[in-house]
Chains A and B, each alone.
Chain A
Amino acid sequence: MSSNEARAAAPNPAPLFAALGDHTRLSLLMTLSDGQSRSIAELSADTELTRQAVTKHLRVLENAGLVRCRHVGRESQFAFRSEPIAEITAYLEAVSRRWDDALARLRALVER
C-alpha cells in the first residue's frame, strides 16, 4: 500500500475514536443509528442529563462528523452519519493488513 492510500484510508482517526469513547455519546449515537432524526428534546427524554449536557455531547459528535444537524424551524434535528464509522473500519483494516505483511516476512526469516 502506498502512503497516499494509507492517508486516504485514515487521515487521522484519533478524534473519531475520542468522540466515540464516551458512554453518553455512544448511547446517543445508538439511538440515532436507526436513521431517524431527532430533536434535542427527544434525545434528552430518555436520559438523566440536562438538555444542555446532551447538546454539548451532540456538538462533539457533530464536530467528529458522526451526526449532522439540521434546523427545522426553531428546532435542531440530529441525524446519524455512517461515513466516519466506515473510516474507522478502513483504518483498522489497514493496520491489520500491515501486521499480515510483517508476519509473512517474519515467517520467511525464521523458517529459512
Chain B
Amino acid sequence: MTNRIEKTIELKAPIERVWHALTDHEEFGSWFGVKLDGPFAVGEESTGRITYPGFEHVTWEARVTRMEAPRHFAFTWHPYAVDPAVDYSQESPTLVEFELQPTSTGTRLSVVETGFDALPGHRKPDVLRLNDSGWAEQMENIKAHVEQ
C-alpha cells in the first residue's frame, strides 16, 4: 500500500510519437477516454468530458504544470472524481507526471501519480501494512501487465 501509483511501460514507438500521443489534446483524448475542450498549455486549466464507458457523467478538469518536449508532461487533477454529488474542488489534487526516455526499441514511458494522502512518509508503511497484502498483489499484477 502506498500513496503513490507508478507505472512503466515500454513502447515500440519513437519518443516524438509518444510525446505527441500524450500532449496533443485530441490524441490524449482518444486513449485516455476524454473529449477535451482545447489544447494543453502550461499553467492553464484543461476541461472536457470523460468518454470512457460508464464514466460519461464525469467532467475532466486538470491543470497542466509541466510540458517539456519530449520528456516531461505533468498535470494536477482530482483522481477518480466520479460522484457528481461530491464537490472535489476542495480536496487537494494529485500530481500526474509522465516521463519519456528513448530506448533502443522505442520509448520507455513512466507515469507517476502522487499525493493521494498527506501521510507522513516514514509512518505510513507501519499503519498501512495492516492491509498491504492486497496492494502488494496488485503491484505484482501491474508488473506482469506492463511486462507482458
**Which residues on A are within 8 Å of B, measured CB to CB?**
1-3, 6-7, 10-12, 14, 17-18, 20-21, 23, 26-27, 29-30, 33, 82, 85-86, 88-89, 91-96, 98-100, 102-103, 105-111
- Interface size on B, as a range, is 35 or more
A21 touches B54 (CB 8 A): no
B123 touches A27 (CB 8 A): yes
Query: What DSSP secondary structure best describes chain A's contact surface?
Result: helix
B31 touches A105 (CB 8 A): yes
Docked complex Cα distance between A85 and B124 (Å): 12
- Would you give the shortest CB distance from B67 to chain A, in whole angstroms? 17
- Would you give the shortest CB distance from B41 to chain A, in whole angstroms? 21
Please, which residue of chain A has its CB at the minimum distance from the CB of B55? A3
- Would you give the shortest CB distance from A51 to chain B, in whole angstroms? 22
- Is B69 engaged at the interface, CB distance under 8 Å to the other chain? no
B5 touches A95 (CB 8 A): yes
- Would you give the shortest CB distance from B113 to chain A, in whole angstroms? 7
Docked complex Cα distance between A81 and B91 (Å): 24
